[in-house]
Amino acid sequence: MSPTIVHWAAGSSYAGTGDRTSEVTNPATGAVTGRLALASREDAEHVIAAAAEAAPGWAKTSLARRTAVLFAFRELLNARRDELAAIITAEHGKVLSDALGEIARGQEVVEFACGISHLLKGGHSESVSTNVDVHSKRDPLGVVGIISPFNFPAMVPMWFFPIAIATGNTVVLKPSEKDPTAAIWLARLWQEAGLPDGVFNVLQGDKVAVDALLTSPTVQAISFVGSTPIAEYVYQEAAKHGKRVQALGGAKNHMVVLPDADLDLAADAAVSAGFGSAGERCMAISALVAVGSIADDLVARIADRTRSLLIGDGSGEATAAAGDGDGREADMGPLVTQAHRDRVESFVALGESAGAKVVVDGREVTVRGGAGDVEAGFWLGPTLLDHVTPQMEVYREEIFGPVLSVLRVETYEEAVALVNDNPYGNGTAVFTNDGGAARRYEADVNVGMIGVNVPVPVPVAYYSFGGWKRSLFGDTHAHGAEGVHFFTRGKVVTTRWIDPANRPEGGLELGFPRNV
């Protein structure tokens, strides 16, 4: 009997009253490993109410106490990250090293939030008028909702909740139905770190749970990461109900390789950024733009590296099961579900029928087994398509899988036009040894995050993460200074204290007050 994964409210498991469930699977074997309780509207209201009850007390908790809890959470996560990585791999499918990398990048935001005392300092101006002083401060919002995608069940929530909690808010996290257990593990870790009950809560579910967060008058803000259509829906619905919203959407990230680039460096980067985590990253490189005469040579180098990748169970059990003694773990695991795997494969067929050349065909993948039966896993190997054109559907759509499309252009200007004409503006990279060309590229492209000889330009935590165009709905990016401002609102206090030894004469003054 598969265990049931439930909600977390007010410091304990909450089974809920709903009778709907969904399956949670191991993508490497296809086996059902759990059943997820899908929230009813009443369940959502119960979890939100737990956050609301805890909000006043946590908002009044000293910065020193909040910071102490954050440091304790950081230490516990560092000590037990292997547990969390194993959960991520078992439900998402990414290899253990990738899961550990995800946790490490999320931990950066925890560490950033540990300095919240400095980040919340306001301003003070003395004697702006006679006996009048002014100071500013930033207050928490109250209850905030986080809606997280399947591809980063730990890192994406950690883009938001450390800052939300550090600034005095209480949190309701709605994880993906595909890999929900990491959220419960994090809730228990927060409790162990000393976070008061009700400050961090988990609401499991589907659209019912999402809509409850978007429409609840108690929830003051929504942070979302997911596909562009859903990001747009979340933004519109939450904003309609008076909420502050940061909704990060999809991407079609281009990597432009100029003729003077180091082609070995570029080929390594293209394979790593295109096929890491089976391409299930909003910052994955899915479109490589080869400029000038380098295309044949570059494609050949990428193909050689792609064919060398080992595809298998990401848990690390595949190495022992293979019996070949090479001690090598898998480079890439399965896709998250059978339906998603089939969708990604359909784009390969569409590209081929439209005239793209299939250089490496992931439909013919050989899988290294693990402890379970991988025959039923959700496998699609890394796929390299050449001679892709902007008119092809394989280029126009966000695939979110291990499919790298190569487009060939003659000039730098054509490459920039491809990037700027795309409706997405999440991330891009340029590979070149020419500093002037790189500097020009930074200025020319309309994209939120840019890498120069860096294929996945995810900013460090004290800078903010987010794209432009249809990759972001709302005005505020994740973490960094923008994240602190998103989870707080400014307050300005003007005070006058009368000196009893020099009391001014009174009198009514109905005109608009002037500073003198």
Is the four-CA dihedral 29, 30, 33, 39 of positive or negative sign? positive
CA–CA dist 230, 247 (Å, integer): 9
Residue 200 near residue 175 (C-beta atoms within 8 A): no
The pair of three-digit structure tokens given for residue 165, joined into one six-digit string: 């909690």
Residue with tokens 């060309």: 437
Classify 326 in phi/psi space as left (phi over 0), alpha (psi -120 to 50) or beta.
Answer: alpha
CA–CA dist 339, 345 (Å, integer): 10
Q: Which of 3, 2, 1, 43 is nearest to 19 (CA)?
A: 43
Residue with tokens 């036009």: 417
Residue 250 near residue 228 (C-beta atoms within 8 A): yes
114 is catalytic: no
Residue 167 near residue 489 (C-beta atoms within 8 A): no
The pair of three-digit structure tokens given for residue 20, joined into one six-digit string: 């709907």
Q: Which of 47, 100, 282, 309 is an active site residue?
A: 282
CA–CA dist 454, 506 (Å, integer): 67
Distance set, CA 200 to CA 152, 183, 263, 270, 457 (Å):
18, 10, 47, 38, 30
Residue with tokens 């209850």: 143
Q: What is the dihedral of CA 186, 188, 191, 195, to 10 degrees?
A: 20
3-state secondary structure of 478: strand
Give 66's Cβ-side CA count (13 Å radius).
28
- Residue positions annotated with a catalytic role: 282
